Amino acid sequence: MSIFLWIVIAIAAVALSCAGVIVVRKRVDTELLRDHHDATDPMLACVGTLFAILLGFMVANAMTRFEEARLNVQEEAGAAGDVFRLARNLKPPANKAIMVDTVKYLDAVCEEEFQLMEDGKMSDKCWQTYSDLWQDCTQYDPQTQGQSNLHQGLVEAMTHLGECRRARSAQINYSLPRVLWIVVAVGAVSIILFTLFFGVNSLGLQLVMTSIVTLVLVLNVYLLAAFDSPFSGQVKVQSIPFEVNKKLFHEVLAEEEKAAHK
Amino acid sequence: MSFVVWNLFTLVAVLAAIGGMLLVRKYSDRKKLKENNQVTDPLMATIGMLFAILLGFMVANAMTRYEESRITIMSEAAAVGDMFRLARGLHSADSRPIMINCLEYIDAVVELEWKEMGQKKMNDRAWAVYADLWKQVANVEPKTQGQSNVHQILVQSMTNLGECRRARAAQIQAKMPDVLWFVVLFGAVTTIGFSFFFGFDSLILQTIMTAMLTYVLCMNMYLLVSFNSPFAGDIKLKPTPFAVNQPVFTKVLEQDAALH
């Protein structure tokens, strides 16, 4: 959801809550409301604490998932880097295929997949390159002990790359279930409704206080929504770790090309 | 439990709370209650806060267990994926049966086991395919150094798969002890019950506030119930990490078959 839409939601929520204050003050005597402060106060405290703790944990949970997704992207890029570096020291020409496929994979992830992930999709081209990369790595046959050691490391790095890739494809499909959004909405609305039952002498003061409470609630719900989907929206995981590798590896491949021509 | 059923429970709870409140209003002197509002206020605040914090942490704990289950599923799916890819590097006589069984395992988990897990059961077919996989992996005889390297990691992945599968089997049985449910229920009833002791002049105002308090408490308990069973109910975990592998593996197997 765009930031503009959230601003509209926040303005609408503040306007509605202010309208609620005015309607309640018109229909119910302020003196009567003030008489009940002793009851409204602990009830709001109870509902408020319940909702604050719940929302706090939900935001913390969403942030943890976001952090996991960010670390996962870093690890995947790291694993791709390991595959490239290990392959570079294997026997040619088999190593060249692995290096070229690694760069192809990085290109496809940066240029195609990260955009598709915003719509919850993975790229077929990436899956194909990933499959080719596996094939290159597992079909390699080391001739010396040194190559065998490198090959072991290569297969492990490839396994790690695969795990991170699959984790990423699962992460794009995970989001907070709709019923939980309903619970969050019910909690937020209840708190705002409870604030309407306070009788403050100054209408202006009550409107300002109600607006602030509403704004803070909307802001918290926005945080939850923003961190809930790590690969789309304003707060999203970037493809920087892949791009750094991509640039470096293109340079290495170009250097090797040059050296081969000399 | 589904959200709709829980809302029906909530409706009953709200009606019961309003009924209780009306009974207290009928059989007690409202003036006296109002005189005591200053005492009822801090007591209600204490009970309400205590319960809110208790319930909050219980929900957080249930959310952590839910997250653990999600991570277990992801690790298990990753282990099967690794095995499929690694098996491809083995001798063709060894590789294809393992690859086919990896796909069969995923099919059994997604199509059969996931439904049974809602009833706290694991599927026999999935266990059988899992046992076959172990046998196949353990019986592989690498012919070259490269295959030996691949086989080593394959055995590691099989071990990971087994660990995650057993963890999942344990997670479907895990639940909050009954005594804690009693504490939660007692806390909720006490909090709502305490609100009856406020002396309100306006019946409508008291009805609205009591109903809202009860509704919010019930919604929080719904969260606890939902997160407590990660494989059942409205927010149950989906087999997405496994399902992601299904089309990819099918395509690879078809490609390999076409090549041969």
Q: pLDDT tens, A228-254?
A: 888 988 888 999 999 999 999 999 888
Give the residue-averaged pLDDT of A54-77: 91
Has residue A71 got a pLDDT over 90? Answer: yes
Give the residue-averaged pLDDT of A174-199: 88
Nearest in space to B129 (alpha carbons), one of B94, B165, B154 = B165
Range of weakest confidence among B129-133, B211-215, B244-248: B244-248
Residue of chain B with shortest Cα separation from A162: B82
Angle at B62 between CA B59 and CA B66, to 5 degrees: 135
Distance (Å) from the alpha carbon of A90 to chain B's nearest alpha carbon: 12
Kindly give, in sequence order, each residue whose CB lies less than 8 Å from that of residue B36, ignoring residues fewer than 6 positions away. Answer: B197, B199
Has residue B92 got a pLDDT over 90? Answer: no
Task: For chain B, give the mean pLDDT.
Answer: 90
Of A41, A174, A179, the CB nearest to B3: A179
Has residue B167 got a pLDDT over 90? Answer: yes
Has residue A73 got a pLDDT over 90? Answer: yes
Contact B81 A135 (CB under 8 A): no
Has residue B218 got a pLDDT over 80? Answer: yes
Chain position carrying tokens 């690890």: A75
Has residue A261 got a pLDDT over 80? Answer: no
Interface of A with B in 93-112 (CB under 8 A): none
Give the residue-averaged pLDDT of B66-78: 90
Torsion of CA B123, B127, B132, B137, to 10 degrees: 130
Q: What pLDDT does A29 receive?
A: 86
Residue B61: band (very low, low, confident or very high) from pLDDT cuts 50, 70, 90 = confident
Q: What pLDDT does A110 receive?
A: 93
Give the residue-averaged pLDDT of A103-121: 92
Give the residue-averaged pLDDT of B38-43: 85
Q: What pLDDT does A68 receive?
A: 92
3-state secondary structure chain B: CCHHHHHHHHHHHHHHHHHHHHHHHHHCCHHHHHHCHHHHHHHHHHHHHHHHHHHHHHHHHHHHHHHHHHHHHHHHHHHHHHHHHHHCCCCHHHHHHHHHHHHHHHHHHHHHHHHHHCCCCCCHHHHHHHHHHHHHHHCCCCCCHHHHHHHHHHHHHHHHHHHHHHHHHHHCCCCCCHHHHHHHHHHHHHHHHHHCCCCCCCHHHHHHHHHHHHHHHHHHHHHHHHHHCCCCCCCCCCCHHHHHHHHHHHHHHHHHHHHC
Chain position carrying tokens 């040059």: A258
Q: What pLDDT does A79 receive?
A: 95
Give the residue-averaged pLDDT of A73-86: 94
Contact B215 A179 (CB under 8 A): no
* A50 inside 8 A of chain B by CB: yes
Q: What pLDDT does A249 receive?
A: 92
Query: What would the pLDDT profile of A130-173 be if each residue is shown by its tens digit?
Result: 989 998 898 888 888 888 999 999 999 999 999 899 889 888 87
Q: What pLDDT does B36 receive?
A: 82
Has residue A10 got a pLDDT over 90? Answer: yes
Task: For chain A, give the mean pLDDT.
Answer: 90
Query: What would the pLDDT profile of B109-164 be if each residue is shown by its tens digit?
Result: 999 999 999 888 999 999 999 999 999 999 988 888 888 999 999 999 999 999 99
Per-residue b/e over A106-127, b at no fewer than 16 CB within 10 Å?
bbbbbeebbebbeeeebbebbb
For residues A178 and A81, the model is more confident at A81
Q: What pLDDT does A174 receive?
A: 77
Range of weakest confidence among A50-54, A105-109, A158-162, B83-87: A50-54
Residue B255: band (very low, low, confident or very high) from pLDDT cuts 50, 70, 90 = confident
* A54 inside 8 A of chain B by CB: yes
Give the residue-averaged pLDDT of A97-106: 94
Residues of B in contact with A38 (CB under 8 A): 37-38, 40-41, 198
Q: How many CB pairs below 8 Å do chains A and B form together?
A: 196
Residue of chain B with shortest Cα separation from A24: B205
Has residue A4 got a pLDDT over 90? Answer: no
Of B60, B81, B157, the CB nearest to A57: B60
Q: What pLDDT does B59 receive?
A: 87
* A135 inside 8 A of chain B by CB: yes
Q: What pLDDT does B112 receive?
A: 94
Phi, psi of B50 (to 5 degrees): -55, -50
